[in-house]
């Protein structure tokens, strides 16, 4: 059996980093972890190939080779996913689809022969059994939330590490919080399930043994600290592993803001070589936070949260939302001031999107306020519901936030604010591609662009006050080009 596994293309949104990738000679930001893991669940005697459309195009010859085409995607990849399905069906191939968008929004697609919904550890086995028996059904689904003890190690041999900026691993699924706009608890539950410590160490071993060294690994958990007791046990073991292997990996992940309450946990993350963490800050307006059940944020000083995490050597990527029902007209200026004053350089500010399977979607449906399906794009000026605030005022305010915080002067000012509070502790060595990025950025930003004085001013100040932060300053300057492109696209939207 020849299985072609296709990962659809991302638009050039916040997480794609397409402009920045050119500086480090990479084709895509991250590999298709779900497909790589599913590949390990398929019979060993089958031939498997992965085509990531973010790396290279899909050819007719590749489709012709396949007996079946497997497609996995998130909502933001829907358009590309449908194109893959159409081409596969035109070539007479059976299409098997799974992953988040096919689980929650299968109605968006046509041409899929078999849906594998939910978590593959549960739903893939009956599909394979029916395939062997010749009794395949159109859909396989289950509400069971499996333990992760036996989730296989991804088939890294199906990709080229050099195509990607960083690798992905998953430690846990689920989140103890229940924010009304988030679909994570609907998909994975409120009781975080974690992989056993030794299993996680084996996954790091697998990357190391397969030749991935001196790179970044993104732990893609939606809330890495959901099970704090277990995560501390894992980190203590992983700190030892990193030391024994001379710190081959930098790590980044996502967490809730209560991370700042646990200095022992942040210290372990620092010792394990975490360099970045994405925090769902969401809003600076307490009533808005309470209105979307983000009570854990409303209870805390969100300025102090960011400063504390930065103090442990981790950049804070911040997630922000406007368009919440309780947002007042002043929310736009408040958010701009918060982002600038805290030095959250990479601020993902999005218009609220209602997604199926969330409490928000269900409430808006009851209230007759839904307009269309969500695009899945975290940075888009497209609303899919009727907001409480005047629609034009909301969209204009959203665009003003983006154009303000990502103006060159404000962006570089924010980098400097961050660096002043940042205590770099990374133990990783400088990589060749990083040196190449320094040379390219020195030319493209430091000489050719109109940001040259901002760029050199930042580097000189950083060199003389906090020399260890110079690589981070250069990285953030490069990232600014990506955000500039994203903001330009958003502000052009009608």
Lowest mean pLDDT among 13-17, 235-239, 332-336: 13-17
Angle 224-227-229 from CA coordinates, rounded to 5°: 120
In angstroms, how far apart are the furthest CA atoms of the chain? 70
Closest CA to 352 of 382, 396, 311: 382
Query: Percentage of residues in the chain with pLDDT exceeding 70?
Result: 98
For the cut 90, the answer to whether the pLDDT of residue 81 exceeds it is: yes
Give the per-residue pLDDT at 358: 92
Q: What is the pLDDT of residue 135?
A: 98
pLDDT band at 108 (very low <50, low <70, confident <90, very high): very high
User: Of 191, 186, 202, 190, which Cα lies nearest the Cα of 143?
Assistant: 186
DSSP for 414-469, written as a single string: HHHHHHHH------PPPPHHHHHHHHHHHHIIIIISTTHHHHHHHHHHHHHH-GGG
Contact 175, 184 (CB under 8 A): yes
pLDDT at 433: 66
Per-residue pLDDT band for 430 (boundaries 50, 70, 90) equals: low
Q: How confident is the model at residue 492 (pLDDT cuts 50, 70, 90)?
A: confident
Alpha helical stretches, state H, 134-183:
none
Nearest-angstrom CA–CA distance, 84 and 102: 14
pLDDT at 41 over 70: yes
Mean of pLDDT over the chain: 94
> Where are the chain's structural domains?
2-140, 166-348+409-421, 432-492
For 450-486, the pLDDT digits (tens) are: 999 999 999 999 999 998 899 899 999 999 999 998 8
Q: What per-residue confidence (pLDDT) applies to 159? A: 98
At 167, is the secondary structure helix, strand, or coil? strand
Examine the pLDDT at 373 and tell me if it is beyond 90: no
| Rounded distance between C-alpha atoms, residue 103 and residue 94, angstroms | 18
Rounded mean pLDDT, 244-251: 96
Rounded-to-integer distance, Cα 183 and Cα 176, Å:
13
168 C-beta neighbours (distance < 10 Å), count: 19
Pairing mode, if any, of strands 215-219 and 315-322? Answer: unpaired
* Mean pLDDT across 22-48: 95
Q: For residues 18-39, give the mean pLDDT.
A: 92
CB neighbours of residue 417 within 10 Å? 18
Question: Pairing relation of β-strands 94-98 and 139-140?
Answer: unpaired
Provide CATH code, domain 2-140: 3.40.50.280
For residue 444, what pLDDT band results from cuts at 50, 70 and 90?
confident
The pairs formed by 399-402 with CB atoms below 8 angstroms and a separation of 24 or more are: 399/490, 399/491, 400/332, 400/336, 401/322, 401/332, 401/335, 401/336, 401/349, 402/349, 402/487, 402/490, 402/491
| CATH class of the structural domain 166-348+409-421 | alpha beta
Residue 493 banded pLDDT, cuts 50, 70, 90: confident
Report the candidate in 54, 101, 53, 46 with the shortest Cα–Cα distance to residue 78. Answer: 101
Please give the backbone phi and psi of residue 98, each rounded to the nearest 5 degrees, phi first. Answer: -150, 180
* Residues 6 or more apart in contact with residue 173 via CB below 8 angstroms: 119, 145, 148, 188, 189, 192, 193, 221, 222
Q: Please check the confidence at residue 394 and state whether its pLDDT lies above 80.
A: yes
Whether the per-residue pLDDT at 335 is higher than 80: the answer is yes
In whole angstroms, what is the distance from residue 78 CA to residue 72 CA?
A: 10
Q: Beta 274-282 vs 249-255: how paired, if at all?
A: parallel
Residue 431 banded pLDDT, cuts 50, 70, 90: low
Cα separations (Å) of 457 from 413, 446, 447, 491?
10, 10, 13, 28
What's the CA gap between 93 and 1, in Å, rounded?
13
Identify which of 387, 373, 223 has the alpha carbon closest to the alpha carbon of residue 321: 387
User: Looking at the predicted structure, is the pLDDT value of residue 428 above 70?
Assistant: no
Residue 343 dihedral angles phi and psi, to the nearest 5°: 70, 35
pLDDT band, very low/low/confident/very high, at 437 (cuts 50, 70, 90)? confident
- State the pTM of this model: 0.93
Of 346, 333, 357, residue with least CA distance to 418 = 346
Q: Distance between CA atoms of 297 and 215, rounded to whole angstroms? A: 32
Q: What is the pLDDT of residues 209-228, one digit of tens each?
A: 999 998 999 999 999 999 99
How far CA 391 is from CA of 91, 101, 378, 429, 433, in Å, comes to 44, 27, 18, 49, 45
Has residue 239 got a pLDDT over 80?
Answer: yes
Six-digit token string for 232? 């501390």
């Amino acid at each position: 059996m020849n299985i072609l596994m296709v990962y659809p293309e991302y638009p050039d949104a916040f997480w794609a980093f397409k402009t920045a990738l050119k500086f480090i000679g990479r084709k895509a930001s991250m590999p298709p972890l779900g497909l790589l893991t599913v590949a390990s669940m398929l019979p060993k005697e089958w031939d498997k190939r992965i085509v990531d459309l973010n790396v290279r195009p899909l050819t007719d010859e590749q489709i012709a080779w396949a007996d079946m085409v497997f497609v996995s995607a998130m909502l933001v990849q829907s358009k590309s996913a449908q194109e893959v399905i159409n081409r596969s069906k035109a070539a007479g191939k059976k299409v098997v689809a799974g992953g988040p968008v096919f689980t929650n929004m299968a109605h968006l697609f046509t041409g899929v022969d078999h849906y594998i919904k939910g978590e593959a550890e549960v739903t893939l086995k009956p599909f394979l059994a029916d395939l062997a028996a010749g009794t395949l059904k159109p859909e396989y689904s289950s509400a069971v939330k499996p333990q992760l003890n036996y989730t296989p190690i991804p088939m890294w041999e199906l990709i080229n590490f050099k195509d990607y900026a960083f690798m992905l691993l998953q430690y846990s699924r689920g989140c103890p919080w229940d924010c009304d706009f988030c679909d994570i608890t609907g998909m994975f539950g409120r009781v975080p399930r974690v992989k056993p410590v030794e299993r996680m160490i084996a996954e790091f071993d697998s990357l190391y043994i397969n030749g991935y060294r001196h790179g970044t690994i993104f732990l893609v958990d939606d809330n890495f600290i959901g099970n704090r007791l277990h995560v501390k046990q894992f980190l203590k073991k992983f700190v030892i592993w990193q030391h024994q292997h001379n710190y081959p990996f930098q790590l980044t992940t996502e967490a809730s803001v209560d991370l700042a309450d646990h200095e022992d946990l942040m210290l372990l993350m620092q010792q394990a070589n975490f360099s970045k963490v994405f925090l769902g800050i969401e809003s600076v307006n307490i009533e808005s936070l309470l209105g979307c059940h983000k009570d854990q944020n409303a209870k805390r000083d969100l300025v102090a949260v960011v400063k504390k995490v930065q103090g442990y050597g981790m950049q804070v990527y911040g997630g922000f939302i406007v368009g919440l029902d309780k947002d007042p007209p002043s929310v736009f200026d408040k958010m701009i001031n918060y982002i600038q004053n805290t030095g959250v350089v990479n601020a993902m500010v999005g218009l609220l999107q209602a997604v199926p399977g969330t409490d928000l979607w269900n409430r808006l449906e009851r209230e007759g306020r839904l307009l269309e399906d969500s695009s899945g794009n975290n940075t888009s000026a497209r609303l899919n519901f009727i907001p409480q605030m005047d629609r034009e005022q909301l969209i204009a305010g959203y665009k003003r936030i983006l154009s303000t915080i990502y103006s060159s002067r404000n962006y570089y000012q924010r980098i400097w604010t961050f660096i002043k509070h940042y205590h770099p502790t990374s133990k990783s060595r400088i990589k060749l591609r990083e040196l190449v990025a320094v040379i390219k950025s020195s030319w493209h930003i430091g000489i050719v662009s109109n940001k040259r004085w901002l760029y050199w001013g930042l580097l000189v100040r950083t060199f003389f006050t906090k020399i260890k932060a110079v690589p981070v300053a250069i990285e953030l300057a490069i990232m600014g080009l990506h955000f500039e492109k994203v903001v330009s696209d958003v502000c052009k939207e009608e």
